[in-house]
Chains A and B, each alone.
Chain A
Protein backbone atom coordinates (compact mmCIF):
# COMPACT_ATOMS: atom_id res chain seq x y z
CA UNK A 1 0.00 0.00 0.00
CA UNK A 2 1.46 3.36 -0.91
CA UNK A 3 1.99 6.12 1.68
CA UNK A 4 -0.90 8.26 0.45
CA UNK A 5 -3.46 5.45 0.70
CA UNK A 6 -2.06 4.25 4.03
CA UNK A 7 -2.63 7.74 5.46
CA UNK A 8 -6.26 7.80 4.29
CA UNK A 9 -6.95 4.29 5.53
CA UNK A 10 -5.47 5.12 8.93
CA UNK A 11 -7.70 8.19 9.21
CA UNK A 12 -10.76 6.17 8.23
CA UNK A 13 -9.91 3.54 10.79
CA UNK A 14 -9.41 6.16 13.50
CA UNK A 15 -12.72 7.82 12.63
CA UNK A 16 -14.50 4.48 12.76
CA UNK A 17 -12.99 3.62 16.09
CA UNK A 18 -13.51 6.96 17.76
CA UNK A 19 -16.74 7.90 16.00
CA UNK A 20 -17.20 11.06 18.05
CA UNK A 21 -16.58 13.58 15.31
CA UNK A 22 -19.15 12.29 12.86
CA UNK A 23 -21.84 11.70 15.48
CA UNK A 24 -21.39 15.25 16.78
CA UNK A 25 -21.69 16.64 13.27
CA UNK A 26 -24.78 14.57 12.49
CA UNK A 27 -26.39 15.41 15.81
CA UNK A 28 -25.71 19.11 15.36
CA UNK A 29 -27.17 19.00 11.85
CA UNK A 30 -30.31 17.33 13.13
CA UNK A 31 -30.70 19.78 16.00
CA UNK A 32 -30.32 22.90 13.84
CA UNK A 33 -32.80 21.70 11.24
CA UNK A 34 -35.26 20.44 13.87
CA UNK A 35 -35.27 23.63 15.95
CA UNK A 36 -35.55 26.04 13.06
CA UNK A 37 -39.28 25.42 12.37
CA UNK A 38 -39.98 26.02 16.05
CA UNK A 39 -38.55 29.49 15.70
CA UNK A 40 -40.19 30.28 12.37
CA UNK A 41 -43.65 29.03 13.17
CA UNK A 42 -45.72 26.37 11.43
CA UNK A 43 -45.90 27.96 7.99
CA UNK A 44 -45.33 24.96 5.71
CA UNK A 45 -45.06 27.04 2.55
CA UNK A 46 -42.34 29.19 4.07
CA UNK A 47 -40.46 26.14 5.32
CA UNK A 48 -40.56 24.33 2.02
CA UNK A 49 -39.43 27.44 0.20
CA UNK A 50 -36.37 28.00 2.39
CA UNK A 51 -35.56 24.30 2.90
CA UNK A 52 -32.64 24.01 0.41
CA UNK A 53 -30.94 27.07 1.86
CA UNK A 54 -31.45 25.93 5.44
CA UNK A 55 -30.13 22.45 4.69
CA UNK A 56 -27.02 23.87 3.05
CA UNK A 57 -26.25 26.45 5.75
CA UNK A 58 -26.76 23.91 8.51
CA UNK A 59 -24.51 21.45 6.69
CA UNK A 60 -21.72 24.01 6.45
CA UNK A 61 -21.97 24.77 10.18
CA UNK A 62 -22.06 21.09 11.12
CA UNK A 63 -19.04 20.20 9.03
CA UNK A 64 -17.07 23.00 10.70
CA UNK A 65 -17.57 21.33 14.08
CA UNK A 66 -15.25 18.50 13.17
CA UNK A 67 -12.96 20.46 10.86
CA UNK A 68 -10.61 21.70 13.57
CA UNK A 69 -9.74 18.12 14.46
CA UNK A 70 -8.42 17.38 11.00
CA UNK A 71 -4.80 18.05 11.94
CA UNK A 72 -5.14 18.75 15.64
CA UNK A 73 -4.76 15.20 16.96
CA UNK A 74 -1.80 14.50 14.70
CA UNK A 75 -0.16 17.71 15.86
CA UNK A 76 -0.71 16.93 19.54
CA UNK A 77 0.70 13.41 19.48
CA UNK A 78 3.65 14.18 17.20
CA UNK A 79 2.46 12.21 14.16
CA UNK A 80 2.26 15.35 12.07
CA UNK A 81 6.03 15.92 12.29
CA UNK A 82 6.67 12.35 11.24
CA UNK A 83 4.19 12.63 8.40
CA UNK A 84 5.75 15.93 7.33
CA UNK A 85 9.15 14.25 7.08
CA UNK A 86 7.67 11.27 5.27
CA UNK A 87 8.08 10.26 1.65
CA UNK A 88 5.12 12.24 0.27
CA UNK A 89 4.98 16.05 0.07
CA UNK A 90 2.78 17.94 2.51
CA UNK A 91 0.47 18.92 -0.34
CA UNK A 92 -0.43 15.27 -0.83
CA UNK A 93 -0.82 14.85 2.93
CA UNK A 94 -3.29 17.75 2.89
CA UNK A 95 -5.14 16.16 -0.02
CA UNK A 96 -5.37 12.82 1.75
CA UNK A 97 -6.57 14.41 4.98
CA UNK A 98 -9.29 16.34 3.17
CA UNK A 99 -10.40 13.21 1.32
CA UNK A 100 -10.59 11.34 4.62
CA UNK A 101 -12.59 14.20 6.16
CA UNK A 102 -15.01 14.15 3.24
CA UNK A 103 -15.51 10.40 3.53
CA UNK A 104 -15.97 10.41 7.30
CA UNK A 105 -17.98 13.62 7.76
CA UNK A 106 -19.06 14.91 4.35
CA UNK A 107 -20.72 11.73 3.13
CA UNK A 108 -22.70 11.04 6.33
CA UNK A 109 -23.98 14.64 6.34
CA UNK A 110 -24.84 14.35 2.67
CA UNK A 111 -26.82 11.17 3.34
CA UNK A 112 -28.67 12.74 6.26
CA UNK A 113 -29.70 15.86 4.33
CA UNK A 114 -32.54 14.28 2.26
CA UNK A 115 -34.02 12.85 5.46
CA UNK A 116 -33.93 16.22 7.16
CA UNK A 117 -35.56 17.70 4.06
CA UNK A 118 -38.66 15.76 5.08
CA UNK A 119 -38.77 17.72 8.34
CA UNK A 120 -38.87 20.95 6.36
CA UNK A 121 -41.52 19.78 3.91
CA UNK A 122 -39.17 20.39 0.99
CA UNK A 123 -40.72 20.36 -2.44
CA UNK A 124 -40.50 16.91 -4.08
CA UNK A 125 -38.91 18.28 -7.22
CA UNK A 126 -36.04 19.71 -5.15
CA UNK A 127 -34.73 16.37 -3.86
CA UNK A 128 -32.70 15.32 -6.87
CA UNK A 129 -31.15 18.76 -7.44
CA UNK A 130 -30.37 19.03 -3.72
CA UNK A 131 -28.61 15.68 -3.69
CA UNK A 132 -26.72 16.60 -6.86
CA UNK A 133 -25.50 19.89 -5.36
CA UNK A 134 -24.53 18.14 -2.14
CA UNK A 135 -22.46 15.55 -4.00
CA UNK A 136 -20.83 18.26 -6.08
CA UNK A 137 -20.36 20.76 -3.28
CA UNK A 138 -19.40 18.88 -0.12
CA UNK A 139 -15.86 17.98 -1.32
CA UNK A 140 -15.18 21.72 -1.54
CA UNK A 141 -16.42 22.06 2.04
CA UNK A 142 -13.89 19.50 3.31
CA UNK A 143 -11.01 20.82 1.23
CA UNK A 144 -11.51 24.44 2.27
CA UNK A 145 -11.95 23.35 5.89
CA UNK A 146 -8.46 21.85 5.64
CA UNK A 147 -6.97 25.32 5.16
CA UNK A 148 -8.60 26.59 8.34
CA UNK A 149 -7.65 23.47 10.26
CA UNK A 150 -4.03 23.86 9.20
CA UNK A 151 -3.95 27.55 10.09
CA UNK A 152 -5.34 26.98 13.58
CA UNK A 153 -3.54 23.71 14.32
CA UNK A 154 -1.25 25.01 17.03
CA UNK A 155 -3.86 27.08 18.81
CA UNK A 156 -5.59 26.06 21.98
CA UNK A 157 -8.90 27.63 21.03
CA UNK A 158 -8.44 27.12 17.32
CA UNK A 159 -11.90 25.63 16.97
CA UNK A 160 -13.43 29.01 17.75
CA UNK A 161 -11.37 30.94 15.24
CA UNK A 162 -11.84 28.43 12.45
CA UNK A 163 -15.45 29.32 11.51
CA UNK A 164 -14.50 32.99 11.25
CA UNK A 165 -11.72 32.14 8.84
CA UNK A 166 -13.54 29.57 6.79
CA UNK A 167 -17.22 30.51 6.57
CA UNK A 168 -16.58 33.48 4.24
CA UNK A 169 -14.84 31.09 1.85
CA UNK A 170 -17.95 28.94 1.77
CA UNK A 171 -20.17 31.74 0.49
CA UNK A 172 -19.65 31.06 -3.25
CA UNK A 173 -20.36 27.36 -2.75
CA UNK A 174 -23.50 28.18 -0.79
CA UNK A 175 -24.80 30.73 -3.31
CA UNK A 176 -24.40 28.55 -6.37
CA UNK A 177 -25.61 25.36 -4.68
CA UNK A 178 -28.80 26.96 -3.39
CA UNK A 179 -29.50 28.89 -6.56
CA UNK A 180 -29.17 25.67 -8.57
CA UNK A 181 -31.79 23.97 -6.39
CA UNK A 182 -34.07 27.03 -6.36
CA UNK A 183 -33.92 27.28 -10.13
CA UNK A 184 -35.56 23.87 -10.39
CA UNK A 185 -38.27 24.54 -7.81
CA UNK A 186 -39.27 28.15 -8.42
CA UNK A 187 -37.37 29.23 -11.50
CA UNK A 188 -36.52 31.34 -13.36
CA UNK A 189 -33.11 30.42 -14.66
CA UNK A 190 -31.63 27.04 -15.31
CA UNK A 191 -30.19 24.41 -12.99
CA UNK A 192 -27.21 23.77 -15.23
CA UNK A 193 -25.41 27.08 -15.08
CA UNK A 194 -25.09 27.48 -11.29
CA UNK A 195 -24.49 23.74 -10.94
CA UNK A 196 -21.56 23.83 -13.34
CA UNK A 197 -20.09 26.81 -11.50
CA UNK A 198 -20.46 24.83 -8.27
CA UNK A 199 -18.56 21.95 -9.85
CA UNK A 200 -15.87 24.37 -10.99
CA UNK A 201 -15.58 25.76 -7.45
CA UNK A 202 -15.14 22.25 -6.08
CA UNK A 203 -12.49 21.38 -8.65
CA UNK A 204 -10.64 24.62 -7.89
CA UNK A 205 -10.82 23.86 -4.16
CA UNK A 206 -9.42 20.36 -4.71
CA UNK A 207 -6.49 21.73 -6.68
CA UNK A 208 -5.72 24.91 -4.75
CA UNK A 209 -6.56 24.22 -1.13
CA UNK A 210 -3.89 21.50 -0.60
CA UNK A 211 -1.28 24.11 -1.56
CA UNK A 212 -2.62 26.58 1.00
CA UNK A 213 -3.06 23.87 3.62
CA UNK A 214 0.50 22.63 3.18
CA UNK A 215 1.87 26.18 3.43
CA UNK A 216 -0.07 26.73 6.65
CA UNK A 217 1.16 23.43 8.08
CA UNK A 218 4.78 24.31 7.29
CA UNK A 219 4.29 27.60 9.08
CA UNK A 220 2.89 25.91 12.16
CA UNK A 221 5.47 23.13 12.29
CA UNK A 222 8.49 25.40 12.26
Chain B
Protein backbone atom coordinates (compact mmCIF):
# COMPACT_ATOMS: atom_id res chain seq x y z
CA UNK B 1 0.00 0.00 0.00
CA UNK B 2 1.58 3.24 -1.12
CA UNK B 3 -1.06 5.59 0.19
CA UNK B 4 -4.54 5.32 1.65
CA UNK B 5 -7.41 7.64 2.44
CA UNK B 6 -6.31 10.14 -0.11
CA UNK B 7 -8.92 12.66 -1.15
CA UNK B 8 -7.99 15.30 -3.66
CA UNK B 9 -10.40 17.62 -5.41
CA UNK B 10 -9.18 19.81 -8.21
CA UNK B 11 -11.48 22.34 -9.84
CA UNK B 12 -11.33 23.68 -13.36
CA UNK B 13 -8.42 26.07 -13.61
CA UNK B 14 -6.50 24.47 -10.75
CA UNK B 15 -2.89 23.48 -10.83
CA UNK B 16 -1.39 21.24 -8.17
CA UNK B 17 2.29 20.87 -7.57
CA UNK B 18 2.79 17.44 -6.02
CA UNK B 19 5.92 17.31 -3.92
CA UNK B 20 7.44 14.85 -1.50
CA UNK B 21 10.50 12.70 -0.95
CA UNK B 22 11.56 9.93 -3.33
CA UNK B 23 9.32 6.92 -3.08
CA UNK B 24 6.45 8.81 -1.47
CA UNK B 25 4.06 7.68 -4.21
CA UNK B 26 3.86 10.78 -6.38
CA UNK B 27 4.28 8.98 -9.68
CA UNK B 28 2.07 6.14 -8.46
CA UNK B 29 -0.64 8.70 -7.73
CA UNK B 30 -0.39 10.18 -11.24
CA UNK B 31 -0.48 6.74 -12.83
CA UNK B 32 -3.55 5.89 -10.77
CA UNK B 33 -5.30 9.02 -11.96
CA UNK B 34 -4.40 8.21 -15.56
CA UNK B 35 -5.72 4.68 -15.13
CA UNK B 36 -2.38 3.02 -15.87
CA UNK B 37 -2.52 1.56 -12.37
CA UNK B 38 -5.71 0.38 -10.76
CA UNK B 39 -6.16 1.65 -7.19
CA UNK B 40 -6.82 -1.04 -4.59
CA UNK B 41 -9.94 0.89 -3.65
CA UNK B 42 -11.48 4.20 -4.49
CA UNK B 43 -12.03 5.92 -7.77
CA UNK B 44 -11.08 8.82 -9.95
CA UNK B 45 -13.84 10.81 -11.58
CA UNK B 46 -13.79 13.73 -13.95
CA UNK B 47 -16.97 15.71 -13.41
CA UNK B 48 -18.22 17.44 -16.50
CA UNK B 49 -16.06 15.21 -18.66
CA UNK B 50 -17.18 12.80 -21.32
CA UNK B 51 -18.88 10.05 -19.32
CA UNK B 52 -18.33 7.47 -22.05
CA UNK B 53 -14.59 7.83 -22.07
CA UNK B 54 -12.16 6.91 -19.32
CA UNK B 55 -10.23 9.55 -17.41
CA UNK B 56 -7.10 8.27 -19.13
CA UNK B 57 -8.51 9.15 -22.53
CA UNK B 58 -9.26 12.65 -21.35
CA UNK B 59 -5.83 13.39 -19.98
CA UNK B 60 -2.33 13.97 -21.20
CA UNK B 61 0.14 11.91 -19.23
CA UNK B 62 3.74 13.05 -19.54
CA UNK B 63 5.86 10.48 -17.74
CA UNK B 64 9.58 10.18 -17.21
CA UNK B 65 9.94 8.92 -20.76
CA UNK B 66 9.18 11.24 -23.61
CA UNK B 67 7.61 8.72 -25.96
CA UNK B 68 9.39 9.98 -29.04
CA UNK B 69 10.80 7.88 -31.85
CA UNK B 70 14.50 8.54 -32.49
CA UNK B 71 14.23 7.45 -36.13
CA UNK B 72 11.48 9.95 -36.94
CA UNK B 73 12.04 13.65 -37.39
CA UNK B 74 10.68 16.18 -34.91
CA UNK B 75 7.84 17.03 -37.27
CA UNK B 76 6.96 13.39 -37.92
CA UNK B 77 6.83 12.73 -34.18
CA UNK B 78 4.45 15.65 -33.73
CA UNK B 79 2.41 14.61 -36.73
CA UNK B 80 1.90 11.13 -35.36
CA UNK B 81 0.69 12.37 -31.99
CA UNK B 82 -1.63 14.92 -33.56
CA UNK B 83 -3.22 12.26 -35.73
CA UNK B 84 -3.23 9.50 -33.13
CA UNK B 85 -4.63 11.65 -30.33
CA UNK B 86 -7.21 13.12 -32.67
CA UNK B 87 -5.91 16.65 -32.48
CA UNK B 88 -6.76 19.32 -34.99
CA UNK B 89 -3.91 21.59 -33.97
CA UNK B 90 -1.46 23.04 -36.48
CA UNK B 91 1.79 21.18 -35.87
CA UNK B 92 3.84 24.07 -37.23
CA UNK B 93 2.33 26.29 -34.56
CA UNK B 94 2.94 23.67 -31.90
CA UNK B 95 6.58 23.38 -32.93
CA UNK B 96 6.91 27.15 -32.90
CA UNK B 97 5.37 27.39 -29.44
CA UNK B 98 7.91 24.93 -28.04
CA UNK B 99 10.79 26.60 -29.91
CA UNK B 100 11.29 23.51 -32.04
CA UNK B 101 10.75 25.16 -35.44
CA UNK B 102 14.42 25.16 -36.34
CA UNK B 103 14.73 21.45 -35.54
CA UNK B 104 11.69 20.26 -37.49
CA UNK B 105 13.49 18.04 -40.00
CA UNK B 106 16.14 16.68 -37.66
CA UNK B 107 15.72 13.05 -36.51
CA UNK B 108 14.78 13.05 -32.84
CA UNK B 109 17.81 10.87 -32.11
CA UNK B 110 20.06 13.91 -32.55
CA UNK B 111 18.20 16.13 -30.09
CA UNK B 112 19.67 17.04 -26.72
CA UNK B 113 17.94 15.90 -23.53
CA UNK B 114 16.22 19.24 -23.08
CA UNK B 115 15.07 19.36 -26.69
CA UNK B 116 13.70 15.83 -26.38
CA UNK B 117 11.79 16.91 -23.30
CA UNK B 118 10.35 19.86 -25.20
CA UNK B 119 9.26 17.51 -27.98
CA UNK B 120 7.64 15.27 -25.37
CA UNK B 121 5.82 18.26 -23.87
CA UNK B 122 4.68 19.39 -27.32
CA UNK B 123 2.13 16.57 -27.16
CA UNK B 124 0.19 18.70 -24.67
CA UNK B 125 -0.67 21.09 -27.47
CA UNK B 126 -1.28 18.51 -30.20
CA UNK B 127 -4.73 17.63 -28.96
CA UNK B 128 -6.96 19.18 -26.32
CA UNK B 129 -7.32 17.28 -23.07
CA UNK B 130 -8.87 18.87 -19.98
CA UNK B 131 -6.55 17.13 -17.52
CA UNK B 132 -2.76 17.27 -17.69
CA UNK B 133 -0.69 14.90 -15.59
CA UNK B 134 2.94 15.94 -15.68
CA UNK B 135 5.66 13.90 -14.04
CA UNK B 136 8.65 16.16 -13.50
CA UNK B 137 7.88 18.19 -16.63
CA UNK B 138 10.77 20.56 -16.19
CA UNK B 139 13.52 17.98 -15.94
CA UNK B 140 16.51 18.93 -18.12
CA UNK B 141 14.78 22.08 -19.38
CA UNK B 142 16.75 25.34 -19.45
CA UNK B 143 15.33 28.55 -17.98
CA UNK B 144 13.84 29.76 -21.27
CA UNK B 145 12.09 26.42 -21.82
CA UNK B 146 10.78 26.42 -18.25
CA UNK B 147 9.26 29.82 -18.96
CA UNK B 148 7.62 28.45 -22.09
CA UNK B 149 6.22 25.56 -20.05
CA UNK B 150 4.89 27.91 -17.39
CA UNK B 151 3.22 29.95 -20.13
CA UNK B 152 1.59 26.88 -21.69
CA UNK B 153 0.36 25.71 -18.31
CA UNK B 154 -1.03 29.17 -17.51
CA UNK B 155 -2.91 29.18 -20.83
CA UNK B 156 -4.32 25.75 -20.11
CA UNK B 157 -5.54 26.80 -16.67
CA UNK B 158 -7.09 29.95 -18.08
CA UNK B 159 -9.00 27.73 -20.49
CA UNK B 160 -10.45 25.79 -17.56
CA UNK B 161 -7.98 22.92 -17.59
CA UNK B 162 -6.57 21.04 -14.62
CA UNK B 163 -2.86 20.37 -14.13
CA UNK B 164 -1.33 17.92 -11.67
CA UNK B 165 2.44 18.14 -11.76
CA UNK B 166 4.96 16.11 -9.79
CA UNK B 167 8.03 18.16 -9.10
CA UNK B 168 11.13 18.50 -7.00
CA UNK B 169 12.06 22.01 -8.00
CA UNK B 170 9.79 25.05 -7.72
CA UNK B 171 8.14 25.44 -11.12
CA UNK B 172 7.43 29.13 -10.77
CA UNK B 173 3.81 28.77 -11.84
CA UNK B 174 1.50 31.50 -10.70
CA UNK B 175 -1.35 29.81 -8.91
CA UNK B 176 -0.11 26.33 -8.16
CA UNK B 177 -1.31 24.80 -4.93
CA UNK B 178 0.87 22.28 -3.21
CA UNK B 179 0.09 18.70 -2.35
CA UNK B 180 2.85 17.41 -0.12
CA UNK B 181 3.11 13.62 -0.12
CA UNK B 182 5.79 13.87 2.54
CA UNK B 183 3.50 15.06 5.30
CA UNK B 184 0.07 13.96 4.16
CA UNK B 185 -2.03 12.92 7.10
CA UNK B 186 -4.29 10.58 5.26
CA UNK B 187 -7.38 9.86 7.25
CA UNK B 188 -10.29 11.00 5.19
CA UNK B 189 -12.39 9.51 2.44
CA UNK B 190 -11.04 7.16 -0.15
CA UNK B 191 -12.23 8.84 -3.29
CA UNK B 192 -10.10 11.12 -5.31
CA UNK B 193 -12.54 13.44 -7.00
CA UNK B 194 -11.27 15.56 -9.80
Task: Point out the residue from A10, A13, A76, A85 that lies within 8 Å of B34, measured CB to CB.
Answer: A85
Residues of A within 8 A of B85 (CB): 3, 86-87
**B20 at the A/B interface (Cβ < 8 Å)?**
no
Is the beta-carbon distance between B66 and A78 smaller than 8 angstroms? yes
**A84 at the A/B interface (Cβ < 8 Å)?**
yes
**B69 at the A/B interface (Cβ < 8 Å)?**
yes
**B68 at the A/B interface (Cβ < 8 Å)?**
yes
Task: Point out the residue from B35, B69, B86 that lies within 8 Å of A85, measured CB to CB.
Answer: B35
Q: How large is the interface on A (under 10, 10 to 19, 20 to 34, 35 or more residues)?
A: 20 to 34
Q: Sorted from nearest, which 5 A-B pairs have the closest CB atoms? A: A78-B65, A6-B83, A78-B67, A79-B67, A85-B56
Q: How large is the interface on B (under 10, 10 to 19, 20 to 34, 35 or more residues)?
A: 20 to 34
Is the beta-carbon distance between B69 and A222 smaller than 8 angstroms? no
Query: Assuming A81-B67, A222-B38, is B83 touching A87 (CB within 8 A)?
Result: no
Interface string of B126-166 (1 = CB under 8 A from A): 00000000000000000000000000000000000000000
Interchain pairs with CB closer than 8 A, number: 69
**B72 at the A/B interface (Cβ < 8 Å)?**
yes
**B16 at the A/B interface (Cβ < 8 Å)?**
no
Interface string of A73-94 (1 = CB under 8 A from B): 1001111011111110000000
Is the beta-carbon distance between B64 and A78 smaller than 8 angstroms? yes
Task: Point out the residue from B59, B63, B83 that lies within 8 Å of A78, measured CB to CB.
Answer: B63
Is the beta-carbon distance between A222 and B83 smaller than 8 angstroms? no
**A14 at the A/B interface (Cβ < 8 Å)?**
yes
CB neighbors of A among B46-75 (8 A): 53, 56-57, 59, 61, 63-72
Residues of A within 8 A of B35 (CB): 85
Is the beta-carbon distance between A82 and B67 smaller than 8 angstroms? yes
Binding site for B on A (CB under 8 A): 1-3, 6-7, 10, 13-14, 17-18, 73, 76-79, 81-87, 221-222
Nearest chain-B residue to A19 (Cβ)?
B71
- Once the chains are docked, how many angstroms separate the CA of A18 from the CA of B109? 12
Is the beta-carbon distance between A77 and B67 smaller than 8 angstroms? yes
Query: Assuming A77-B67, A78-B63, is B84 touching A83 (CB within 8 A)?
Result: yes
Residues of A within 8 A of B69 (CB): 10, 14, 73, 77, 79
- Once the chains are docked, how many angstroms separate the CA of A85 from the CA of B35? 8
**B80 at the A/B interface (Cβ < 8 Å)?**
yes
* Interchain residue pairs with CB less than 8 A apart (5): A3-B85, A14-B69, A17-B71, A81-B65, A82-B123
Query: Assuming A79-B67, A221-B36, is B76 touching A13 (CB within 8 A)?
Result: yes
Most chain A CB atoms below 10 A, which of B59, B63, B69: B69
Nearest chain-B residue to A14 (Cβ)?
B71
The smallest C-beta distance from A23 to any residue of chain B, in angstroms, reads 15
**B37 at the A/B interface (Cβ < 8 Å)?**
yes
The smallest C-beta distance from A219 to any residue of chain B, in angstroms, reads 11
